[in-house]
Amino acid sequence: MQKSKEGTALFFNETELTGRVLTTNGEKQVFTYRGKAYAKSVTEFVADIDGTDFIDRVRDRICEMGHFAVLYTTHSYTRKRSENGDFFRIIVPLERPFLVEEHGGNPGVAARHWLSRYVGLSKVLGIEDLDLSAAKFVQMKYMPRRASSDAQFKHYMVAGRALSVEEMPVEENLLEFKVAGSTERTCRRQTGLQDGTIWTQLGKLMTCLNWAEKTGLIDRAPYIERPSKPAPNERYLNRQEIAQLLAVECAPHTKLAIRLMLSTAARVTAVLELTWDRVDFERGQVNLRTGEGQRKGRAIVPITESLRVALVEARKAALSDYVIEWAGGPVKSIKKGFRAAAVDAGLLDVSPHVLRHTAAVHMAEAGIAIEEIAQFLGHSDSRITASVYACYSPEHLRKAARALEFD
Q: Which of 205-209, 281-285, 354-358 has the lowest mean pLDDT?
A: 205-209
Cβ-based neighbours of 222, under 8 Å, separated by 6 or more: 133, 209
Cα-based distances in Å from 268 to 19, 28, 198, 272, 298 = 55, 60, 19, 6, 11
Q: For residue 188, is pLDDT > 50? A: yes
171 pLDDT band, cuts 50/70/90, is confident
Strand partners, 27: 24
Model pTM?
Answer: 0.50
Average pLDDT value for residue range 97-123: 84
DSSP state of 118: H
CA geometry: angle 161, 166, 170, nearest 5 deg: 125
Q: Which pLDDT band holds residue 115 (cuts at 50, 70, 90)?
A: confident
Phi, psi of 308, deg, nearest 5: -60, -45
Q: What is the DSSP string of 232-266?
A: PP-----HHHHHHHHHS---HHHHHHHHHHHHH--
pLDDT of residue 281: 95
End-to-end C-alpha distance for the chain, whole angstroms:
73
**Whole-angstrom distance, CA of residue 166 vs CA of residue 121:** 11
Residues constituting the chain: 407
pLDDT greater than 90 at residue 391: no
How far lies 292's CA from each of 289, 296, 298, 351, in Å? 8, 11, 11, 27
Rounded Cα distance, 230 and 249, in Å = 34
Burial class (CB in 10 A: 0-12, 13-18, 19+), 149: exposed
Write the pLDDT tens digit of every residue in 220-268.
787 777 777 766 667 899 999 999 999 999 999 999 999 999 999 999 9
In eight-state DSSP terms, residue 68 is: -
Q: Quick one: 14 exposed, middle or buried, by C-beta within 10 A (0-12, 13-18, 19+)?
A: middle
Three-class secondary structure assignment of 152-188: CCCEEEECCECECHHHCCCCCCHHHCCECCCHHHHHH
3-state secondary structure at position 269: helix
Cα–Cα distance between 21 and 73 in angstroms, integer?
34
Q: What is the mean pLDDT of residues 205-217?
A: 85
Pairwise pLDDT comparison (282 vs 127), residue with the higher score = 282
Sheet bearing 279-280, strands edge to edge: 279-280, 285-287, 300-302
Can you give the pLDDT at residue 8? Answer: 54
CB 266 within 8 A of CB 356: yes
Burial class (CB in 10 A: 0-12, 13-18, 19+), 40: middle
Between 247-251, 297-301, 380-384, the lowest mean confidence (pLDDT) is in 297-301
What's the confidence (pLDDT) of residue 178? 47
Long-range residue pairs from 54-60, CB within 8 A, at least 24 positions apart, any chain: 54/85, 54/86, 55/86, 55/88, 55/154, 55/156, 56/154, 57/126, 58/88, 58/90, 58/125, 58/126, 58/127, 59/156, 59/158
139 has a pLDDT exceeding 50: yes
Of the listed ranges 70-79, 214-223, 249-258, 389-398, the one predicted with least confidence: 70-79
Closest CA to 235 of 371, 354, 367, 320: 354
Domains in the chain: boundaries: 3-181, 182-230, 239-392
Architecture per CATH, 239-392:
Orthogonal Bundle (1.10)
Q: What per-residue confidence (pLDDT) applies to 141?
A: 57
Greater model confidence, 359 or 399: 359
Whether residue 158 contacts residue 91, with contact meaning beta carbons closer than 8 Å, is answered with no
Arithmetic mean of pLDDT, 353-377: 92
DSSP-assigned states of every residue in 74-109: -TTHHHH-BTTBEEEEEEEEEEEEEEGGGTTS-HHH
Q: Which residue has the higher pLDDT, 85 or 135?
A: 85
Is 114 a residue whose pLDDT tops 90? Answer: no
The rounded mean pLDDT for the chain is: 81
Mean pLDDT of all residues in 126-143: 67
